[in-house]
Amino acid sequence: MLATPLVPRVESGASMAREWRIVRTLPPNMSVPRYSCAPSGVCLGLASINREFFAIRFGTRGTGSIGRVLSKLHPNLQVGCASSSVCEGILDSHATGQNSLLLRTSDAGRVWRRQRLLRGFAVFGIACPTVTRCLTVGTFQRIGSLPASFRTTNGGVTWVRANLPGGAGAAYGDPVCPSATVCYASSATLGTPPAVIVTTDFGRTWRSVPVPWPTGSVTFWAFSCASIDACDAWVVAGSPSHNIQLPWLVQIKGEGTSFASARAPFQFFGGIVGFSCSTSLNCNAALDGQFTNAGHYVFKDLQTTDGGRTWARIPTPGVTGLVSPTCFATGACIGIGFGRKGSILRLTAN
């Protein structure tokens, strides 16, 4: 029998953000499946309308450029932005015949210039901590699925390869770079513990991080770095035989040398569609699935201000749910809402 679940709530006296607010309703039939934000709060998104794809700009500092069509793109483009105008893009192997094509824009997506074709390489994520430095991780599909990374330190003029830990079959996605030299990459395979690797020399060498996961943390997985000394992982410690899933927030400190963890006071069945932390204690998690105390399928955005010990639901009026929240050091967050119409939402701190 399941233990009685607790309703996500805030401890007395905790300071929470206000509700999410719609700052722009997207044109009819437009969706934004992918986007990347620079530290300034300006984001470049990949939008689609009737199977045509475009780049649009939006952000936390107003709505003037939201929804502006800048350039026609491909649906499999991944984007990493270091500033409001400079972004690196990757057309993945599905778009380029088992290859990955590196692209770059210096004018916020109006023009994309080809840089290099990575033959036989499937990209799983890209990060650009500065306008000259970008790093991608993926796997060579034609040579035993070996994991590797490529990095540039000169704005994409040259790209250098490095092998990743784990050997054949290991797969790491969505690298996160909290500084110009320190980057993390993570992986999760159903039925096995998640894995985290770190580089402190911007991709020249990588090492595994011995994270002390809670027992049974084998399902849903997300990763966010608020600073060089505060990277948070969302995992679910479950018991398959009893169908119990308890979310945990595990924090990695000191470039992978120390750790802290906290269990959320509720049970949850479903997936995570966005996770972002603005400080070591403040994180937002966008969930879709079923809370055991709700009894039905729901979409919720939850926020913690104490490192994951307590959580509160943040209202998303006007939309069914929220995906891909991105939070900044200022305390503001941006996200994509969905429902009858797509929307850009903004969350500001009290």
Is residue 51, in this structure, part of any structural domain at all?
Answer: yes
Is residue 320, in this structure, part of any structural domain at all?
Answer: no
Is residue 325, in this structure, part of any structural domain at all?
Answer: no
Report which of 279, 232, 275, 237 is spatially closest to residue 251, judged by C-alpha positions. 232
**Is residue 252 a contact partner of residue 259, using CB atoms and an 8 Å limit?**
yes
Is residue 171, in this structure, part of any structural domain at all?
Answer: yes
Residue-wise pLDDT for 132-176, tens only, equals: 999 999 888 776 678 899 999 999 999 999 999 887 777 788 899
Q: Give the three-class secondary structure for 303.
A: strand
Strand partners, 117: 101
Is residue 304, in this structure, part of any structural domain at all?
Answer: no
What's the pTM? 0.85
Count of beta carbons in the 10 Å neighbourhood of residue 41 = 20
Give the pair of three-digit tokens for residue 112: 């994309």
If you write DSSP's letter for every residue of 78-129 in order, what string do you get?
A: EEEESSSS-EEEEE-HHHHTSEEEEEEESSTTS--EEEEEEETEEEEEEE-S
Is residue 310, in this structure, part of any structural domain at all?
Answer: no
Residue-wise pLDDT for 6-62, tens only, equals: 333 433 334 444 788 888 888 888 878 788 888 888 888 888 887 777 788 888 765
Assign residue 216 the CATH number of its domain. Answer: 2.120.10.10
Q: Total domain count for the chain?
A: 1
What is the pLDDT at residue 63? Answer: 52
Report which of 29, 79, 39 is spatially closest to residue 55, judged by C-alpha positions. 79
Q: Give ∠ CA 161-94-88 in degrees, rounded to 5.
A: 50
CA distance 16 to 108: 33
CA distance 41 to 59: 5
What is the pLDDT at residue 2? Answer: 26
Residue ranges in the chain modelled with pLDDT below 70: 1-17, 61-70, 93-97, 143-144, 188-192, 216-220, 238-244, 269, 289-299, 340, 349-350
What is the pLDDT at residue 131? Answer: 94
**Is residue 78 a contact partner of residue 89, using CB atoms and an 8 Å limit?**
yes
Is residue 145, in this structure, part of any structural domain at all?
Answer: yes
What is the pLDDT at residue 186? Answer: 87
**Is residue 176 a contact partner of residue 223, using CB atoms and an 8 Å limit?**
yes
Is residue 345, in this structure, part of any structural domain at all?
Answer: no
CA distance 165 to 210: 13
What is the pLDDT at residue 31? Answer: 79
Residue span of the structural domain in which 73 resides: 33-270
Distance of CA 120 to the CA centre of its chain: 25
What is the pLDDT at residue 204? Answer: 96
